[in-house]
Amino acid sequence: MKIIMLGAPGAGKGTQAKRIAAKYGIPHISTGDILRANVKGDTELGKKAKTFMDQGLLVPDELVIDMLMDRIGQDDCKNGYVLDGFPRTIPQAESLDAALAKAGEKMDMAIDVDVPDENIITRMGGRRACVNCGATYHVVFNPTKTEGICDACGEKLILRDDDKPETVQKRLNVYHEQTQPLIAYYSKAGILKSVDGTMEMDRVFDAIVRIIGE
C-alpha cells in the first residue's frame, strides 16, 4: 500500500498521513525528516545535501529522490508507506515515477484532502502558539481556558507570522501554481482519490479508511 498525500498547506494532510501510518502499520515518510536523518547520520547523500543547504540552496530533486528511494528500500517499507510533502511539482512526480518504475514499483493511490482556500485561511489564522513551551491552540477548535494565555505554562500566546492571512495566501498561491496540477496528473494516472477535508478530523479519517479499505 503505497500512498501519496496531497492537499494545500493547512488542509490537514500531515495529520491524516500519521493516522494512516498508525492504523495500517506502515511508515509515514516526510522528505524533511529523511533529509534531516541523512545529514545527522553523515551519510553520503547527507553530505551532498549539506553542501547545498550550507549555501542556502534547495536540495536538488534528484538528490531528494535518491534519499527517498534509499528510505523506501528499507525493511519497514515492505508493506507500503505514506508519502507526505513530496512530490510537490509535476517534474518531481515524473522523476519519482521513473525511479519507482526502475525499481519495479509504483504508487497505489494519491489521496487529496480537499479544503477551499477560505477555510484554510480561517483555520490557520485562528492558530495560536506559545513561544515559551511550544504548545499550540486554536481560537475556535482548541481554545485556551483563558483567552490568549497558555494552559500549560501561563505565558502569552502569539499569532505566528506563518499563520497570518497574507502569509497563508502567499503559500496557497504557490500551492495552486506548483502543486495543485498534481491532482490532474494522478487523476490521469487513475490513482487519485479525494476526500472532503472541511469535515471534522475523525470524519475525514473515516472517509480515507473507506477509500483504502479496512
Residue by residue, DSSP assigns 85-109 as: S---SHHHHHHHHHHHHHTT----E
Amino acid at 116: P
Is 106 in the active site? Answer: no
Catalytic position from the list 127, 156, 170, 203: 127
**pLDDT computed for residue 56 by the predictor:** 87
Is 123 in the active site? Answer: no
DSSP-assigned letters across all residues of 75-91: GGGTT-EEEES---SHH
Catalytic position from the list 13, 19, 71, 123: 13
Catalytic position from the list 50, 164, 171, 193: 171
Cα–Cα dist 204/5, whole Å: 13
- The answer to whether the bond into 181 is cis (omega within 30° of 0) is no
* Cβ proximity of 97 and 103 under 8 Å: no
Catalytic position from the list 18, 50, 88, 193: 88
Catalytic position from the list 18, 48, 50, 160: 160
Is 71 in the active site? Answer: no
**pLDDT computed for residue 112 by the predictor:** 97
| Domains, the chain, ordered by start | 2-26+79-115+172-212 (3.40.50.300)
Is 88 in the active site? Answer: yes
Is 127 in the active site? Answer: yes
Query: Tens of pLDDT along the chain (214 residues)?
Result: 999 999 999 899 999 999 999 999 999 999 888 999 999 999 999 999 999 988 988 899 999 999 999 999 999 999 999 999 899 999 999 999 999 999 999 999 999 999 999 999 988 999 999 999 989 999 988 999 999 999 999 999 999 998 999 999 999 999 999 999 999 999 999 999 999 999 999 999 999 999 998 6
